[in-house]
């Protein structure tokens, strides 16, 4: 969580997941949602996720590692 007292961060969850590529990220994310063990976790999270026009609003940002990152 940022070192910020802004109300916008009051109920914001930020998490990082590393994937080899955006295509791999989509495949892995789709596989997670297809896993029969996943629905209880997704169902538990639903009350925490903002809904906009009947759809869950989640911001996804793809970032690239810096030149000095160990991820390279």
Answer yes or no: are the C-beta atoms of 50 and 56 closer than 8 Å: yes
The SS3 of residue 30 is helix
Q: What is the pLDDT along the chain (72 residues), one digit of tens a residue?
A: 566 677 777 777 778 888 888 999 999 999 999 999 999 998 898 887 877 888 877 888 888 889 998 876
pTM of the entire predicted model: 0.60
Q: What is the pLDDT of residue 63?
A: 87
Answer yes or no: are the C-beta atoms of 49 and 57 closer than 8 Å: yes
SS (H, E, C) 7-68: HHHCCCCCCCCCCCCHHHHHHHHHHHHHCCCCHHHHHHHHHHCCEECCEECCCCCCCCCCCC
């Amino acid at each position: 969580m940022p070192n910020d007292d802004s109300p916008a961060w009051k109920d914001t969850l930020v998490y990082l997941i590393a994937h080899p590529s955006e295509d791999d990220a989509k495949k892995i994310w789709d596989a997670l949602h297809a896993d029969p063990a996943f629905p209880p976790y997704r169902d538990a999270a639903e009350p925490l996720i903002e809904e906009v026009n009947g759809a869950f609003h989640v911001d996804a940002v793809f970032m690239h590692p810096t030149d000095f990152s160990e991820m390279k």
